[in-house]
Amino acid sequence: MSSSIDQSFPAADNNNSPYTTKIDDDDDTSSTFQYGPLPTDSGATFRVVLNLQSDSGLVLGDVSDDSTFLDVSTRNFIGREDDKFKDGANTATRPRDAKGVYVAYVASDSPAFALGVRPGDLIKETSATVGDSTWPLSTIKGLQTSLQSRARMASTVSFVLNRVKDSTEEDIIVEEFELQLNKPIGLELTQNYTPNGRKIVCVSKVTDTKNDLNSVKVGDRVVAVEAAFGGRFWPHSTVDGVVGAVNGRLPGQSVRIKFARDIQVGKYDVKDVTSLSTTAQSFKELSSESASKTAATGSATHKLLLTRSCDIIKNYVKEHIPNADNKDFLLPARAADSVLTVLAEADAQLDSITLATVMGAYLVSRESSSVARAFEAATGVSASGRTTTTEQTHVWFGKDGKTHRVAPNIYAVDLQTGTALLRAHALAGDFKSAVRVLKLLLSWSENGGIKVDSYAWNVALSAARTASDYLGALKLYETIPAKMRTQATYNTMLSLHARNRDYEEAEKLFQTMRSSERVDSIAVTAIMKSRADARDLEGVTEIFEWAKAQNFNIDLQMYNTLLLAFVKNGEWQGVNDVTEAMSLQNIEPDAITYSYLMNGLLNSKKYGECLSVFESALDVKKAVSSVSLFTTAITAAARTKQFDKAMGLVGKMKMEGLRPNVKTLTSLVNACTLSSRGDIALEVWKATLEKSEDVDGRARLAVLRACCQQSKWDDALALLESGGDGQHPHIFKGKELMEGYDALMFAAISMKEFDVAIKVLEQFLGLGFIPSNAIMVTFIRSMNIANRSGVSSDSVKFLYMLIDRIMCRKIKINGSMYSFLLHRMVDFAESEREAGDSDADVRLRQMCRMLVDAKKRDGAIISSLMPPEQVCVAGGWAEIFDDNELVDDVVLGELETPPLLVRVNAEERSKVGAAEQRVLRYARRRRAKV
């Protein structure tokens, strides 16, 4: 009897009788074991013994079923939404080319891990119900039954595991292919020997015959020949044996021969995507062989290329820092990009495992659009769930400068890739696409269909964002089969109710969950958040105390939500009590804790306290890695005009390896501008924000204020012009565009840059905008600043030019603007009279009366019926102001004054009346002196 021992083990004294290996016997099905060290070699078979009465930290999966997982400790099935699977480092995807049960998860601090069990190991045998024997198993449901029976009879269970052989480290792999040949086969064979002396049969020459031998190369090995009867292949290692097997055929009978070829695939490095080049080139050559019978897709080279690609991506995911503010946050996505480029250049199809790995890398980097793009490219199926095909639309560009498309593989659509696509839609808040994809998965018929699990339903539910989505989610919830409604389903609905301010429904659902004992820590946090949003501080504290009384795990999320409730209600003493309680419970605050505190203080205008809290946060690693905290601190520094402080915070961010985002840089620009350092603000814009695709309207407004401070009027106008007519929300939202024009006009008028102000107004009106009451108030406020040293002729003329531009578009000014104009005219006239200019005094008095008369004349006229030739008569009010002869013509009745359309509301009547009375009093005083 020949036996082979995978590892030689010394004895181990452990209550679990741990490390064992199996001795395989070719002639017998029995198995014996001996003890030894932790298994490390790929391909090793070993045994572990686990205690069924404690947590083994082991979860098993079924290779043929993406949705079925068995927790060994509880002997119950769990879903993919279980918290265990959030720990990516200790989970495994389904092994390729394997059957049966595998280790899906093993906790790093568990007995199973200590005994050498690792994610991806295959379960070959498990203990019988009674005794020490182990029996083969094939299904996870059979394993559950076996474990349940074993637990009633014994306290321990043995598993025989196999460490899947790792071929990724080999630089040469063997490809096998078959050919159906007729005699004479057209091959010359040579007897050769391997370095260890094993006989092999090699092809030394390929001659021309009627057989198709394009796939055969010199050096290929003949490894087996089909038997004359029965169709079974028999291995051969000698030339005589091959020749005898071929010649033993009946006349006219063909023969099937199996060939083998060594493929150079090179070494690779999991940290370097370029190390895939040799493997990819070998696969490409395999694919390009004329009339190849080696079936490149699905070949050993193809599988190795995919496995190595997955390993590289998994390495980047494993090293990923789950902090969107970190400069390396996007590395998994970039690795996935590079891998897809390699696979596209090699024309290699992705299987479902590789596609799921690629999509997972994009998901951890929060790139939902890239997930959809990869799915469509790899499957040819629309990522939005529509029935239209997308095979022609998605390409990757290779390093050779040519366009390559990933070869679509419809069988790459399975539960894992479909759920990853659902997660992408949930990340993007695209509920409609999520529902369509869910329907697609439910109706999928290819490859035996897809068994949609509760996790997929829950992910689709969580995609709801808007009010209309919420209504759709309520309908979707009703369609979820009762057996699919898990704890996560109820928690998701609870969060949806709270997010959409449907507090009554949230309370109803929570009470239902409470009465059916389905409340967990997540549900408690969700209802606390709902009550906090409703400013129900008493309700938040009540449920928090209830959770404590029920011995819930009071975690950081609960404390953060309680803290938020106190902050929203301005109860700062309560905030102090919560932070003290966290300290007593040794619960370290995180970025969210400090974010709630700092934003609350910022909104309460407690800028100094806000900066003090930030200084405390710098001592907490989990908090200091948050860009949002730095942004809030920079904003607080800006509000207190601490320019140096703001610049120092940006430097500190870079030292922490954080990338300032658009909000951070916008706060920095504001800090510079408020500290009268608009020059630095514009440098920040030129160096960073201007080149960013993510720059928004708020950032542009901040830069516009800096341009105004530095008198960069053309740059400011160009910024506003880029926003067009307000129909480009990615540049400026409508409200932001109005705010920008308002700020620019205020700055120009305040600085007496009247020509610039007129240019801004003309651009504003030219886009079809109508000055609002707020902009009219801006005119008045800025003119008051410009006239602090007295009303000048230029400022009065500007007012008339302003009125002219507005009247030419038949727009009414409000009563406040009209009153302001009258008062400034009287102020200017009185200053001219005091200066001794009697001619100007007379002209201004007449113009004051003209304004009042024009307002009365046009008060009842509908602007749309006004004759066009009277709209801008005599060049407008500004021209009359500049030309004494025009004033005389109007006084003599030879010329009509331009229109003056005024809209007076009830609140403005007294103001307008007082202004007109002042004009009349001024005129009477003047006549008395004459």
Average pLDDT, the chain: 84
Mean pLDDT of 591-609: 92
Strands (E), 52-120: 58-62, 65-71, 76-78, 101-106
User: Would the CA dihedral through 348, 354, 355, 357 be positive or negative?
Assistant: negative
184 upstream amide cis, omega within 30 of 0: yes
Strands 902-903 and 813-814: parallel
pLDDT in tens, 774-784: 999 999 999 99
Q: Domain-by-domain residue ranges, the chain? A: 3-162, 172-264, 273-462, 711-786, 789-930
> For residues 412 and 298, is the Cβ–Cβ distance under 8 A?
no
Residue 238's φ and ψ, nearest 5 degrees, are -125, 155
- The answer to whether 544 touches 578, Cβ cutoff 8 Å, is no
- Confidence category of residue 289, pLDDT binned at 50, 70, 90: low
Q: In this predicted structure, what is the pLDDT of residue 577?
A: 94
Residues 6+ apart with CB under 8 A from 216: 179, 187, 203, 206, 259
For residues 159-166, give the mean pLDDT: 83
| Separation CA 455–CA 919 (nearest Å) | 77
The residue-averaged pLDDT of 456-473 equals 94
Mean pLDDT of 884-902: 86
**pLDDT band per the 50, 70, 90 thresholds, residue 291:** very low
For residue 77, the model assigns a pLDDT of 87
Look at 382-396, 493-507, 569-583, 671-685 and tell me which has the smallest mean pLDDT: 382-396
Close Cβ partners of 80 (under 8 Å, ≥ 6 residues apart):
66, 67, 69, 419, 453, 455
Q: If pLDDT is split at 50, 70 and 90, which confidence band does 418 have?
A: very high
- CA 744 centroid distance within chain: 35
**Token duo for residue 656:** 């922490």
Q: Tokens representing 387?
A: 């029935």
Alpha carbons 394 and 407: distance in angstroms, whole number: 10
| Domain 3-162: CATH architecture, name and number where available | Roll (2.30)
pLDDT above 90 (res 120): no
- Considering only CA atoms, give the Rg of the chain: 40
pLDDT interval class at 89 (50, 70, 90): low
Q: What angle do CA 117, 58, 122 make, to 5 degrees?
A: 50
State the pLDDT confidence band at 490, using cuts at 50, 70 and 90.
very high
**Least confident among 45-54, 167-176, 235-244:** 167-176
Do the domains 3-162 and 172-264 sit in the same CATH topology, yes or no?
A: yes
Cα(207)–Cα(190) distance, integer angstroms:
14
- Sequence-ordered strand ranges (E) for 711-836: 813-814
Q: Give the pLDDT band (50/70/90) at residue 694.
A: confident
Concatenated DSSP letters of 172-241: EEEEEEEEEE-SS--EEEEEEE-TTS-EEEEEEEE---SS--TT--TT-EEEEEE-SSSS-EEE--SHHH
- Output the pLDDT for position 295: 57
22 pLDDT tier (thresholds 50, 70, 90): very low
Per-residue pLDDT at 358 exceeds 50? yes
- How confident is residue 40, by pLDDT bands cut at 50, 70 and 90? low
Which residue(s) pair with 326 in the sheet?
658
Reported as a single tens digit per residue, the pLDDT across 171-230 is: 888 888 888 888 888 888 999 988 888 899 999 988 866 777 877 888 899 999 988 777
One-letter amino acid identity for 777?
V
* Tokens, residue 49: 């013994």
The dihedral built from the CA positions of residue 632, 638, 641 and 646, taken in this order, carries a sign that is: positive
Q: Pick the most confident of 25-34, 77-86, 695-704.
A: 695-704
Give the Cα-Cα-Cα angle 61, 353, 102 (nearest 5 degrees).
20
Q: Tokens representing 549?
A: 């009384």
Does pLDDT of 10 surpass 50?
Answer: no
**What pLDDT score was predicted for residue 402?**
60
Average pLDDT score over residue span 624-629 = 81
Q: Higher confidence at residue 871 or residue 121?
A: 121
> Does pLDDT of 31 surpass 50?
no
Return d(Cα 660, Cα 730) in angstroms, integer.
20
At residue 33, φ and ψ (nearest 5 deg) are -135, 155
- Looking at residue 391, its pLDDT comes to 47
More confident residue, 397 or 88: 88
pLDDT at position 859 over 80: no
Q: Is the pLDDT of residue 381 over 70?
A: yes
Q: Poorest-confidence range of 47-51, 411-415, 473-477, 918-922?
A: 918-922
Give 172-264's CATH code, choosing from 1.10.3720.10, 2.30.42.10, 1.10.10.10, 3.40.50.300: 2.30.42.10
Residue keyed to tokens 């009277």? 870
- 300 is written with which tokens? 């050993």
**Range 131-138 average pLDDT:** 84
Q: Are 919 and 848 in contact (CB under 8 A)?
A: yes
Q: What is the per-residue pLDDT for 11? A: 33
What local confidence, expressed as pLDDT, does residue 32 receive? 35
Q: How confident is the model at residue 394 (pLDDT cuts 50, 70, 90)?
A: low
pLDDT for 396: 57
What's the average model confidence in pLDDT over 679-705? 87
Question: Distance between CA atoms of 237 and 198, rounded to whole angstroms?
Answer: 8
Beta strands 76-78; 65-71: pairing state: antiparallel
Contact of 134 with 160, CB cutoff 8 Å: yes
Decide if pLDDT at 155 tops 70: yes
How do beta strands 32-35 and 3-5 pair?
Answer: unpaired
User: What letter would DSSP give residue 86?
Assistant: G
Mean pLDDT of 505-525: 92
Q: Give the residue, 904 or 3, on which the prediction is more confident.
A: 904
The pLDDT confidence band at residue 861, using thresholds 50, 70 and 90, is low
Cα 266 from chain centroid?
36
Secondary element (H or E) of residue 35: strand 32-35
Q: Please tell me the least confidently modeled range out of 283-287, 478-482, 626-630, 794-798.
A: 283-287
3-state secondary structure of 928: helix
Please give the model's pTM, rounded to 2 decimal places: 0.75
Sign of CA dihedral 53, 54, 55, 56: negative
More confident residue, 371 or 179: 371
Whole-angstrom CA distances from 337 to 43, 361, 367 are 32, 10, 11
Count of C-beta atoms within a 10 Å radius of residue 280: 23
Give me the mean pLDDT over the 875-893 stretch: 85
d(CA 86, CA 102): 18
Residue 633 · residue 617 · CB < 8 Å: no
